[in-house]
Amino acid sequence: MTPRAIAIFQTMASEASKKLRYRDEEDRKDCIAFAMMDVVRYWRSYNPEKSNNPFAYFTQMIKNGFAKGWRKLHPLSAGEKVSLSHDNVYTI
């Protein structure tokens, strides 16, 4: 990955982070770092034969990185999780 590509992805992550709300500034920076880690880890998986829009592909990858980071920083407690086991699902 070239330094220019890294700078472009960093700009994309910074701009995308402005669309979300965070508890504090450190959470925003951490989520950007998680997003960049995903981009660096998975950037080679883009296949131009399947899609001709790399911007959309990498934007979605960055958004997924934000979600992974947020879930790692603020995991849900057991009371906030939804279970779809047979014991909890009722038919009408």
CA distance 84 to 55: 36
First-last CA distance in the chain = 54
- The predicted structure's pLDDT at residue 85: 60
Calculate Rg over the CA atoms of the chain. Answer: 17
- The predicted structure's pLDDT at residue 74: 81
Task: Name the amino acid, one letter, at 56.
Answer: A
CA distance 23 to 73: 11
* pLDDT band, residue 4 (cuts 50/70/90): very high
Is the pLDDT higher at 49 or at 91?
Answer: 49
Which residues touch 46 (CB under 8 Å, ≥6 apart)?
54, 57, 58
